[in-house]
Amino acid sequence: MKQQENLRLGICWILFSAFGFAVMGLCVRLAGEIPFVQKTLFRNMIAFFIAFSTLCAKAKNDRSVLAVPRDAWKFLILRSAVGSLGIFGNFYALGHMNISDAAMLNKMSPFFAVAASIFVLKEKPGTVSIVSLLIVFSGSLFVIKPSFDFEKVFPAIFAFVGGMGAGLASCFVRKLHLYNVCADFIIAFFSLFSILIALPFVFFCYTPMSFSQVMILLGAGIGAACGQFGMTNAYFNAPAAKISVYDYSNVLFAGILGFIFLGQIPDAFSIAGYIIIIGTAFFVFAYNCRKLEK
């Protein structure tokens, strides 16, 4: 009974997380013609403040949360580097293409994580994982719609790279857990790393913002914080194998918000890509659940 209650709670938290990230995407687009690196600065500053505050509170009772083994630092830096790549790619795409398309390409990250785990975690993917990777990549082409019109395809490539960065980052997070590195320390370090990368660009290429744009970007940061908070609580209450597929509701939320506030409607090719990618995710999810029950 307790397990079922935790599962329902996990699903509610991951839906909350998906909505938070969808709100973030909408706010990034509504912020208007501001450099995408400047937009990421707001998101990362809020994330750093929350993670650092939580880390300090934990450190008062347990100093071990600040400990990072020497061998783990390289993975911490790599996680921060590819995570920054993921955020920059996603934020650029959100400002230049349909936000549900950008969300869909970003949600390819679990499949990139499987590919990266071969080299980082020395895990051998099964036939189902390999085939699913190939199918998902073909589905992404429907969303990207490769062509010689670089003005249209360039943002999609950035979104694709953003999903790749997020997938690699999650793989390095799993590696860091093997070294017992505190999750709040990982988030705080990554956020600070991204801030330091963005600061020089913002310093030299700062674009003045109106009060409404500042408020919208603060909304993006709060949405991202809610997304991160919801994700953490979701996986605390239930195993990833049973709830991760619900994270794809982010695409649905992004589509609804994009239609209401931006008048965006995905085209037939994008919808076909959604069906292929989400359908594959559901199949892998069901397959993994069956394996766990045996």
In this predicted structure, what is the pLDDT of residue 147?
Answer: 66
Got the DSSP string for 157-191?
HHHHHHHHHHHHHHHHHHHHHHTT--HHHHHHHHH
CA separation for the pair 82, 168 (Å, rounded): 6
Entry pTM:
0.86
The domain limits of the chain are 1-34+216-263
Q: Is it the case that residue 81 has pLDDT exceeding 80?
A: yes
Average pLDDT in the chain: 86
In this predicted structure, what is the pLDDT of residue 149?
Answer: 66
Instruction: Tell me the percentage of the chain whose pLDDT exceeds 90.
Output: 35
Dihedral sign for Cα atoms in the order 20, 170, 175, 193: negative
Stretch 43-71: mean pLDDT: 89
Q: Is it the case that residue 63 has pLDDT exceeding 70?
A: yes
In this predicted structure, what is the pLDDT of residue 256?
Answer: 92
Stretch 174-201: mean pLDDT: 89
In this predicted structure, what is the pLDDT of residue 82?
Answer: 93
Stretch 162-172: mean pLDDT: 87
Stretch 30-34: mean pLDDT: 91
CA separation for the pair 281, 148 (Å, rounded): 30
In a 3-state reduction of DSSP, which class is residue 67?
coil
